[in-house]
Structure 1
Amino acid sequence: MESMMKLVGFVFALSLAALVPSLEAHIGEFDDYWQKRAEKAQKAALEAYSPDPENVTSHFNLRVHKLLGGSNSTRRQLHMHKHSGPCLATNPIDRCWRCRKNWAKDRKRLAKCVLGFGRKTTGGLKGKYYVVYDPSDKDVMNPKPGTLRHAVIQKRPLWITFARSMTIMLNQELMVASHKTIDARGANVQIAYGAGITIQFVRNVIIHGLRIHDIVAKPGGLIRDSVNHFGYRTMSDGDGISIFGSTNVWIDHVSMARCQDGLIDVIEGSTAITISNGHYTHHNDVMLFGASDVFSGDKKMQVTVAFNHFGKGLIQRMPRCRWGFVHVVNNDYTHWLMYAIGGSSQPTIISQGNRFIAPPNMAAKEVTKRDYATPDVWHSWTWRSQGDLMMNGAFFVQSGRPLAKKFGKRDMIKAKPGTFVTRLTRFSGTLNCKPKRKC
């Protein structure tokens, strides 16, 4: 009954905040084509929304617990990409595929490995392979076959790989269609010095193994977003990855730095998202979940942030949340200048088993920051910390109700405590995978 009431309430909220074009949509003309895409995206979001989000977090925690058993580690071995010993897969997502010698022949196994709210994401699992061999991006209206832009706009599902290492400088934002996997394993693929990646009004996308850095805003213009449609786009913001009105998206093992706006945005009715195993450095606004304090359509937003390393040169928003439900679990926060996790508009934030190392600045020891609300308002927001490791004076200001205990003991196994984080995030960021060798 309680689940049904939640779902009814969600549908009511969704009807009050229909998915309509906003100032951040970058769609020059919201024509019939974009209206239909928005309506399909809204329907997909409703289907992907979980009325019992704590059940999803419990399932995630159970998988971590099973992998680690009773072992522990407090070793400060961060990002040892030069590791030369036997293959080590230190968290349940990586354990699913990394230490298989034939990973390059069975790339699509990756689609079975996602956990968290994006757990149903399969990307291009049902499609053919598409090999990108040309790094150019000269014609955004008629992309050249063999380029990444030509691959991502195709109608059919595709599993996109790269023939060799390359740097791709995008002349305009890269519009990714539904049912695509961008799989950079086995090559050093950099998206840099141009526009970023846009996932707008689509579903079922995996991005794995890209290095995304030095992204800049672009003036817009006519851009092809599918094989049978192009339209006018306004100026892009300079985000590394922008997820807009989209569902079932998994971002895994990316390394990101220095984007003109945010590294990753999840906004405007997006849900069923997992962001895992990433390495983020040298940036101000790292992650933004929910772009507006007035767009209550983001109440359905559900995001898992797991096994990431938030590293050198970061300032704030890891993430910053509006509305929605965000599970921040087993991440390593070694640097921030202002705060780590923030938000407004009553988001639910569950922080479990993270390590927070506060900066030397005495004014920045607090992990959390609540905007545009006084304590008498935000005291009811559910921001809970469980098993987090607080170091160098870090502290998390909790609020709202404790986590529900309506599930059985098997489901309510807690996330591993923050002392396990160095192990769980040891190989965050892009990996040096080579065919015929364990990754």
Structure 2
Amino acid sequence: MADSTSFCFSFLGLCFSFLLIIQTLHAHIGVYDDYLRERELLAKQNLDKAYHPNPEEVLNHYNHHAARAMARFNSTRRSMKGKNKSDGPCEAPNPIDNCWRCDKDWKESRTKLADCALGFGRGTTGGKDGENYVVTDSSDDILDPKPGTLRYAVIQSRPLWITFKHSMVITPDQELLIMTNDKTIDGRGVRVHVAYGAGITIQFAKNIIIHNIRVHDTFPCDGGSIKDGESHVGIRTRSDGDGISVFGSTNIWLDHLSMFRCGDGLIDVIQASTAITISNCHFTDHNDVMLFGAHDNYDLDEKMQITVALNHFGKGLVQRMPRCRFGFIHVVNNDYTNWLMYAIGGSSHPTIISQGNRYSASSERVNKEVTKRDYAPQSEWKNWDWRSEGDLFTNGAFFVESGSASASKKFGSDKMIPYKPGEKAPLLTKNSGALNCVSGKPC
């Protein structure tokens, strides 16, 4: 009898665990109806289309643009000799910012930004081909969003370039769900906060840009009925409180965001998401910063390809910058000025190429190692491709490499255009986070 009871409890526990996994795989979807099944099917088709069979070519493309941007910057600095800095040419050594920030007419030509993504998210154009939509109302009605609100904009099926009439704090009552394609959220020229409520979830969507906003102080919300399309209301379970969660989505570009103190991760990218660039962001005051891949047994994430570029990982951070499962992750020209546990971690054999970063360990008595591998003995992880090229290590920081010394080149030509060395990371990231752009002046 005791054995039978023990078996029943074990079986029930197994079933409960399975249900939890299913719920997690469905990303807080309470009722999986025909509309959501269709969205999921389209998302998996987008995964195959967005996956790059030669990721080394993407590294080359980024490094080529970085070299060109620095060449222009050095030329500009020479031309400014003897001039007042404020009267001189615009400075933009950053290869992404160099594409748009020196245009004083940026407000009239906002969609120029859509030509500027680099890395695996290159080609992401957001709402470039759509009309301009102006957010005038910071309120949030999850079942009947009002025209003029951000939630109303992101449920529209047509492409939209979303801007804001004035500075505002948007407090989502439940997850701000982006489940439609071809959207840009552009916060330039004002100060936009998504804070003190739920965060942003991009799910089963394609071609999304989120630019120049502040996301912070988010927390888990109970879920329930939420309108997530023009004619669809979904049932959601409790959310985690992530600042931004990317689930089953492709061609995503997150740029110039300021993020801190969110309920779970600052940015999570999971469940067959790929073709993603996270750039020019400023991260502070958080424990679990970024998670790429939610489960060690979800092998569709083998096609996950993410560029983490030109970000500043600042004060008060603990770990996961990022933590990776599966996939190919290019970590390039970031400035890591603090961590308490580790900077870059992972499991399930991700490929991680670290190029031109500055890793400065905390002055406190904490772990100086940049890297951390989980759930595998050294005999296994020694074959994972984790490589450091051109990185700068200060204050005792060190990176434990593994795998092939030619990992960054094994998918194509071995002629890499030089990325910018780690010494340049502070310069390249000095304007990270949300910018204070003024109309009529370079941003």
TM-score, reference length from structure 1: 0.90
Is it true that 1:27 corresponds to 2:8 in the alignment? no
Q: Distance in 1 between matches of 2:425 and 2:51?
A: 29
Q: What residue is the counterpart of 1:163 in the other structure?
A: 165
Q: How does 1:10-409 map to 2 (within 5 A)?
A: 22-23=24-25, 25-69=27-71, 87-137=90-140, 139-176=141-178, 177-403=180-406, 404=409, 407=412
- Name the counterpart of 1:423: 427
Q: Distance in 1 between matches of 2:58 and 2:167?
A: 37
CA distance in 2, matches of 1:109, 1:201: 26
Amino acid in structure 1 at the alignment position of 2:416: M
Q: Which residue of 1 aligns with 2:79?
A: none
Q: 1:382 to 1:408 in 2, by over 3 A?
A: closer
The DSSP-based 3-state class of the residue aligned with 2:217 is strand
Bigger proportion of residues as helix: 2
Aligned mates of 2:417, 2:234 — CA distance in 1: 49
Partners of 2:248 and 2:326 in 1: how far apart?
A: 15
Distance 1:247 1:393 in 2: 38
Residues 1:366 and 1:71: Cα distance change in structure 2 (over 3 Å): farther
- For the residue of structure 2 that corresponds to 1:400, the secondary structure is coil
Q: Which stretch of structure 1 is more off in the superposition, 25-34 or 157-166?
A: 25-34
Deviation at 1:68, TM superposition (A): 1.4
Distance change >3 Å, CA 356–CA 24, structure 1 → 2? farther
Aligned-pair distance for 1:31?
Answer: 1.4
CA contact (8 A) 1:237 1:261 kept: yes
- Please give the alpha-carbon distance, in whole angstroms, between the structure 1 residues aligned to 2:317 and 2:160: 34
Residues 90 and 425 in structure 1, CA contact (< 8 A), matched pair in contact too: no
Higher relative contact order, chain-length normalized (CA < 8 Å, sep 6+): 1
- Partner-residue secondary structure (3-state), 1:215: coil
CA shift in 2, pair 1:267/1:405, >3 Å: closer
Cα distance between partner residues in 2 of 1:131 and 1:249: 21
8 Å CA contact 2:73, 2:91 repeated in 1: no
With normalisation by structure 2, the TM-score equals: 0.90
Q: Deviations over 1:21-70 (max 9, x none)?
A: 64561000111111110000000010000011111111111111122139
State how far apart, in whole Å, the 2-side matches of 1:197 and 1:262 are.
Answer: 12
Distance 1:377 1:203 in 2: 35
CA RMSD of the aligned region, Å? 1.7
Match of 1:438 among 412, 417, 442: 442
- 2:8 corresponds in structure 1 to none
Greater Cα radius of gyration, structure 1 or 2: 2
Q: Offset at 1:416? A: 1.1
Inter-partner Cα distance in structure 2 for 1:339 and 1:85:
43
| Structure 1: gaps spanning 5 or more residues | 1-19, 73-82
C-alpha distance after superposition, 1:286-312 (max 9, x if no partner): 000001001011000000000000001
Call closer, same or farther: CA 1:23–1:247 in 2, change over 3 Å. Answer: closer
**Is residue 203–residue 246 contact of structure 1 (8 Å, CA) maintained in 2?**
yes
For these two proteins, the number of residue pairs brought into alignment is 409
Q: Could you tell me whether the CA contact under 8 Å between 2:104 and 2:441 is conserved in 1?
A: yes
Is the 1:90–1:426 contact (alpha carbons within 8 Å) kept by the matching residues of 2? no
**8 Å CA contact 1:217, 1:235 repeated in 2:** yes
Query: For the structure 1 residues 84 and 219, does the alpha-carbon distance in structure 2 shift closer, same or farther, using more than 3 Å as the test?
Result: farther
**Do the aligned partners of 2:289 and 2:317 also contact (CA within 8 Å) in 1?**
yes
- 1:381 Cα offset (Å): 0.2
1:69 and 1:195 map into 2 onto residues whose CA distance is: 43
Distance in 1 (alpha carbons) for counterparts of 2:387 and 2:26: 31
State the Cα distance separating 1:408 from its structure 2 match. 5.1
Q: Is the 8 A contact 2:69 2:92 kept in 1?
A: no
| Displacement of 1:88 | 2.2
2: distance between equivalents of 1:154 and 1:28?
22
| Aligned-residue identity in percent | 60
| Structure 2 CA distance for partners of 1:280 and 1:344, relative to 1, 3 Å | same
